[in-house]
Structures are given as structure tokens and as C-alpha cells.
Amino acid sequence: MSLLEEPISELARGLRAREFSSVELTQMALAEIEAKDGAVGAFLRTTGSAALDQARAADRRLAADPAGASTLCGIPVAYKDVLCTKGVETTAGSRILEGFVPPYSATAVLRLEAVGAVGLGKLNCDEFAMGSSNENSAFQETRNPWDLGRVPGGSSGGSAAAVAARLACATLGSDTGGSIRLPASFCGVVGVKPSYGRVSRYGLIPFASSLDQIGPLTKTVEDAAHVLEVIAGRDSHDSTSAVAPVGDLRRHLSGGVDGLRLGVPDEYLAMDLDPGVRSVFEHTARELEAAGAQLIPVSLPSTEYALAAYYVLAPAEVSSNLARMDGVRFGPGVAGAPSLTEAYEQARHSGFGPEVRRRIILGTYVLSSGYYDAYYLRAQKVRTLVARDFERVFGEVDAVISPTAPTPAFRLGERVADPLAMYATDILTLPANLAGISGISVPAGFAAGLPVGLQVLGPHLGEGVCLRVAAAVEEAADLWRKLPSPTPHELRPE
């Protein structure tokens, strides 16, 4: 069995016992990437030399003060390509940022580096994190390790696939409407969407600034808690980051669900769910009830308007955020354009993919004179209603549970020509982003041989209760050691 199949706590123990070194663990990870990632396509670029330098530094730190070193010291991790990494090309999966080498790193990256985590490289994603399948990357497809003919989910598909294929011990992704939780569900890993403000967004290339959050994808719930404890907390570089202390999140993991009130939203279960997904959810809900949880039907009536509101608000912020991308200093560039305006137009047309262009146009339209009140203002009112629904429900229950996605992973190319079907993939995840609350997806079972995730939603800054319920699901399902079979290096794309 590969060391990369072990949880972070076991790897930390082995590093301190000098059963292996961080250099050896990092070399193993780089070898696995070399052997498997040609089929999976999770990594856009690896940073082998720098990673080994970081591993040597981690080994020195562990030798000098094993008790004082972080659990993540010496552990190989990787980053979604929307997170700036000093000295390493960061493209957000887009041609318009090709060649961009940031002079600084995102706060979440810096905090992992500060405790001695080893960065293996940058992970593929939908362009500017806009997508639910990872098919919008300008550079390559990422394939689901469980079935290379299927999508890994998006937009953090590379982050989820890397963990599922055991190419990294943990990864960071970003979640704007489900972009951590959806690929976590499709790839059979744990994915945490922290509350808005829990993790600094400094150094995150923005999609929609009022919705984006950085979070971990890992093999186990405990691994996710380890990473979240490090990256969360107030940051002076991000005025929206929460002042509230993070504390010891792992203390919640052993609490079980006995006595907890878990809400089951009528509106979520009334949707057109894949029969296998529904079966997994119902079985897991019964397991939680048998463990002492009280299941309470709840209503989130604004859910039916959430999808439409999201696809007004998010594109509006896209229109604003991406206005700065002009293709002048990096990206495709344009030679010989008759005017500066036409140079901008040509660079943006060739630099942005079709989905990004679609959202820029939509966002610009809803913000334009004569349409602002009809679309943007109404969508903001719906967002308030969604948040109030959750606030009311969390006065009645401790957490909410639901399927993470309506279906398991679908086939590559299946929804590319139908944007509405693609957007509907996020119907169960995006309300949490509109409300700014906490959420997690944890593997709960399989449908037709494909992973299915259960979503746990908690109140704002309620990551503790989300982790507590997710740990109980993980214990009942006992799936985290189950690997894609056959393993990725034995598979070939269809």
C-alpha cells in the first residue's frame, strides 16, 4: 500500500518516528503524478525542484522540534490554479492569464507553507472557476479517476481528482456555487466550503467576490479539519475575513450525532434526483437516525428561485472582476490592431473561452441601465430571502443534510452543449453560497459504481457541526480507504 493512501495524522506520526522522510514522501508523490496523471490530467504544472526544497526544510524542522511542528509539516499538498503562488505560473485555467507569474502567494497558500506543507504544483480547473464539470479549462481535460470517461466535477475538478487518485494528501480549491463540494461528491473525497469570511480570499483570482471561498479537499474528514485549522482565521489583507477565532476544529469529530437535530429540506428532496443518489441519501439518513440524530423535515421555500438569482448575481460580479483582464502584460496579446480598443477586444475574445464570455455578456447586461432593477436588484432580494430561510431553519435544527448533487458524475461532453443542464448541476450547493453559510460534502455511497456525496450545511461559522455530522457519516459509510478500481495508471481514456 502506498503511503499516500494514509491519512495525514498517520503520515505525521511516521514522519516523527523517522519511518520515512518528507523528501521520500514528496518523491513518492511526484512519481505517482508522473505515472498516473497522464490519464487523469489533474495537474497543470508540478514544482518538483521547489517541492523537494520545501521537503528538506520540513525534515530539518521535524528533526529540530518534532513535538512543536504542525501535523501538516512535510505533507505534500497542491493548489487549484486560481490561487496565486509566488514565482509559479498561475492561469486560472485561462489563456488570458497565460504567462502570469505572481509576485506573491495567496494567504491560504502562505499559511500552509508556514507550517511546512510541501506544494507539489498547480491543479486544473474550469476557466476562472466558471463551470461544473472542469471541461471549461483552456488547457486540458481532467478526468474522473473512478471512470475516465466521466467528468470530475467543477470547477475544482483537478483538486478533487488529485486526492481521489492519491496524487496529493490534500488540496485547496475554491467554492463559488459548489465548486468544492460538487467535485468532492463526484470523485469520492471530502470537500469543505467554509463560511464566507472564514478563510482569507487574498490571492484568490476572483470569480464572484461576494460568493467565493477557499477550502480543502481531502481523503478524510479529520484531514479536512487539519487543513482548515491552518488556513482559516482573520487576515488583514482581506477586510471580509471574519474576526471570530477558529479554535480546535478536530474536537468536534468524536462527538457523534446523538441528540443532534438534522433538517431534511422538503424542496431539495422534491427535485429530480437520480434514483441511486436518492437511495444513498435515504440509507445514510437512516444510519444517522439510528446513531441518535433526530431527522426533522424543514422548508427552504426560496430554493426554487436560488438558481436564477445566482446566475444573475455571479455573472454581474464576473463582468466587474474580469474587466481588468486586457491581454497586455500576459496572455495572447494582439499585434497590429488598428486601435487600443480593438486590441482589447481581440485579446479578450481570444483569451476568454466561450463560457467566460457568456457570463461576462450576461453580467454586463443585468447591470446595464434599464435592467439593473429588473434583474440585479431582484436577484439581491432573492439572496436575502435565501439567507433568511437558512437563518430561520438553523433556529430549529443544528444542521441540514441533503445529497450534494442530483446525479453522480456524468459523461464527458454530455452537458457541454446545454448550459442550462450544466447550471442545474449546482442546484443543491449554490444556496449555501448565496447565504454565506458553512458546508461539507462527504462520501456516503455509490450509485452504479460511482461515488455519491452527502452534503451537510451548518450556520455561518458553523464548520464544527458540519465536521461533526460528516465524521459520523464517514464512520458509518467507511469508504475513505476505497480506491478507484482499476487504479488510474491502469486505465486509458476512452
Give the number of other Cβ atoms within 10 Å of residue 56's Cβ: 16
Residues 6+ apart with CB under 8 A from 239: none
Residues 6+ apart with CB under 8 A from 353: 94, 95, 127, 136, 138
Specify whether 80 is catalytic.
Answer: yes
Q: Where are the beta strands (DSSP E) in 58-132?
A: 76-80, 118-123
Identity of residue 54: Q
Residue 361 main-chain phi, psi, to 5 deg: -65, -45
Specify whether 219 is catalytic.
Answer: no
CA-nearest of 88, 159, 79 to 119 is 79
CA-nearest of 127, 178, 173, 172 to 453 is 178
DSSP character at residue 204 = B
DSSP helix/strand/coil, 88: strand
Residue 362 main-chain phi, psi, to 5 deg: -60, -45
Catalytic position from the list 94, 133, 155, 185: 155
Catalytic position from the list 21, 179, 200, 302: 179
Rounded Cα gap, residues 87 and 140, in angstroms:
22
Rounded Cα gap, residues 130 and 352, in angstroms:
11
Catalytic position from the list 36, 80, 122, 193: 80
DSSP characters for 207-263? S-TTT-EEEEEESSHHHHHHHHHHHBS--TT-TTS--S----GGGGTTS-STT-EEE
Rounded Cα gap, residues 429 and 132, in angstroms:
11
Rounded Cα gap, residues 274 and 424, in angstroms:
13
Which residue has 456524468 as its cell numbers? 410
Specify whether 482 is catalytic.
Answer: no
Task: Region of 333 please: left (phi>0), alpha (psi -120 to 50) or beta.
Answer: left
CA-nearest of 426, 460, 185, 173 to 311 is 426
Rounded alpha-carbon distances, angstroms, from residue 452 to 408, 423, 446: 6, 19, 5
Task: Region of 130 please: left (phi>0), alpha (psi -120 to 50) or beta.
Answer: beta
Element housing 305 (H / E): helix 303-321
Instruction: Take residue 476 and report the three cell numbers written for it.
Output: 458509518
- Active site residues per annotation: 80, 155, 179
